[in-house]
Amino acid sequence: MARTDFQRAQVAFSVSSVSIPPSEDGPKQWDLPEGGWHDLIETATRGVFEMMLGCTLTRVSLATSPEGDITAMVGLAGGLCGVVSIRCSLATANLLASKMLGIDTAEAESATRDALGEIANVVAGSVKAAVPGLEDTCFLSTPTVVIGRDFKVYSLGNSTSTAVPFEVEGSAVWVILDVHH
Amino acid sequence: MKKVSVLIVDDSAVMRKIVERSLRQAGIEIERVLEADNGASALAVIQQNVPDMIFSDVNMPTMDGIEFIRQLQSVESAKGVPVVMITTEGSQTRVMEALSLGAQGYIRKPFTPDQVRAQVAPLLEGK
């Protein structure tokens, strides 16, 4: 296990393993847009990046699984149970922090984890806002940030995972929604 | 509109900076920024310095924003200080709870400076 840093830890979900079954577009009890979770995640994430960071994300196709040395996670509980994660390299997270704060990357280095956690928080809020009926029934945890790439996350039941890769200034950023059933 | 002192309550230091920047971009003239990372520390700050306006997150450890404004009601020196909630939570139940406890505005993350101005400017009229 690589070094793991639980920043601002308030872990509302198990963080000891990851089981990522093949991506599915979610159960039918939610009124999702035509493109399912993929399009919903894309719309929510692009909106957050444009408003908070002033940058445009490009959705890309990557053959790899989500990877990166920093992962910010926000738990969902209630009407939708699961985890929203954002994963990328530390350099990319540092770039995002600099854009968020409007300062250069060297100056933003100490704020990198906090910034990625907040991005995950707002993306999670936007995802739940996009699903009719979830606003009053689904609640968010505060963010948890994990540093390291050699870890797995297991949920305590069945879950489906939808991972959407984006590119910002040539760097990959993954947004992942794990829904627990 | 005179320069105002603001208290920004959020467990994320990054978000506190973004709120401050958005207020400045919205044309709010800020004399002093006070910061706290949860409701309990915000109440302690207010004991020393009463701001002209308070911006508070909802989801925070130790004391969340809802409990903060509930307890703020009994702080005599802070009577009349407008509170604006800034949060990712769009729950109408939470919004109504915050407003019923005395919050005077509600801004949802992510937000633009225009949205901040629309909420804040009316609250600062006459100050």
More confident residue, A36 or A23: A36
Query: CA-to-CA distance for B102 and A3, rounded, in angstroms?
Result: 44
* Predicted local distance difference test score (pLDDT) of residue A64: 83
Residue A174 · residue A87 · CB < 8 Å: yes
DSSP letters of A65-114? PP--SEEEEEEEEESSEEEEEEEE-HHHHHHHHHHHHTS-HHHHGGGHHH
Does residue A44 belong to the interface with chain B, where contact is any CB pair within 8 Å?
no
Compare CB distances from A142 to B61, B109, B110 and report the shortest one's residue.
Answer: B61
What are the residues facing A76 on neighbouring strands? A82, A140
How many contacts (CB atoms, under 8 Å) link A and B? 63
A158 — pLDDT class (breaks 50, 70, 90)? confident
Inter-chain touch A135–B91, beta carbons under 8 Å: yes
Residue B1 confidence class, pLDDT cut points 50, 70, 90 = low
**Measuring CA to CA, which residue among A173, A28, A145 is closest to residue A83?**
A145
What per-residue confidence (pLDDT) applies to A135? Answer: 86
Cα distances from B37 to residues A79, A85, A169, B43, in angstroms, run 28, 23, 32, 11
Across the interface, whether the CB atoms of B91 and A111 are under 8 A apart is answered no
What type of residue is A3?
R
Two structure tokens written together for A122: 């707002």
Q: Looking at chain A, which residue has its C-alpha nearest residue B37?
A: A8
Question: Using a CB cutoff of 8 Å and minimum separation of 24, what contacts does A22-27 make?
Answer: A23/A160, A23/A161, A23/A162, A23/A163, A24/A160, A24/A162, A25/A162, A26/A160, A26/A162, A26/A179, A27/A179, A27/A181
Residues of A within 8 A of B15 (CB-CB) are 118
* Closest CA–CA distance from residue B14 to any residue of chain A (Å): 6
Is B11's CB within 8 Å of A115's CB? Answer: no
Predicted pLDDT of residue A120: 97
Q: How far is CA A11 from CA A60, A83, A162, in A?
A: 30, 11, 21
CA distance B28 to chain A (A): 18
Task: With CA atoms as reference, report the closest residue to A114 among A128, A135, A132, A100.
Answer: A100
Q: Quick one: what percent of chain A has pLDDT higher than 90?
A: 64
Q: What is the pLDDT of residues A91-111, one digit of tens each?
A: 999 999 999 999 999 999 999
Q: Is the Cβ pair A101, B14 closer than 8 Å?
A: yes
Q: What would the pLDDT profile of A111-120 be if each residue is shown by its tens digit?
A: 999 999 999 9
pLDDT digits (tens, 9 = 90+) for B32-79: 999 999 999 999 999 999 999 999 999 999 999 999 999 999 999 999
Q: What ipTM was estimated for this complex?
A: 0.88
**Residue A133: both structure tokens together:** 């009926």
For A51, the closest of B21, B92, B112 (CB atoms) is B112
**Nearby residues of A27 by Cβ (< 8 Å), 6 or more positions away:** A179, A181
Q: Please tell me if residue A110 touches chain B, with a CB cutoff of 8 Å.
A: no
Confidence of residue B126 (pLDDT cuts 50, 70, 90): low
Residues B15-31: tens digit of each pLDDT: 999 999 999 999 999 99
A162 pLDDT higher than 70: yes
Which chain B residues touch A52 with a CB distance below 8 Å?
18, 109-110
Residue B127 in this model has a pLDDT that exceeds 80: no
Q: Which residue has the higher pLDDT, A26 or B65?
A: B65
Look up residue A92 and give its two tokens.
């990319």
CA atoms of B109 and B12, how far apart (whole Å)? 13
State the average pLDDT for chain A: 84
3-state secondary structure of A179: strand
Q: Which of A110, A142, A145 to mutate to test the interface with B (most CBs of B within 10 A)?
A: A142
The arithmetic mean of pLDDT across residues A51-77, rounded, is: 91
Q: Which has more pLDDT, A104 or A62? A: A104
Instruction: Provide CB contacts within 8 A for A69, sequence distance 6+.
Output: A89, A90, A147, A148, A149
Amino acid at A101: L
SS3 content of chain A, % helix, strand, coil (to 5): 30, 25, 45
> Which of A76, A98, A121 is best to mutate for the B interface (most B CBs within 10 A)?
A121
Label residue B2 by pLDDT band (50, 70, 90): confident
Most distant CA pair in chain A, distance: 46
Is the pLDDT reported for residue A26 higher than 80?
no
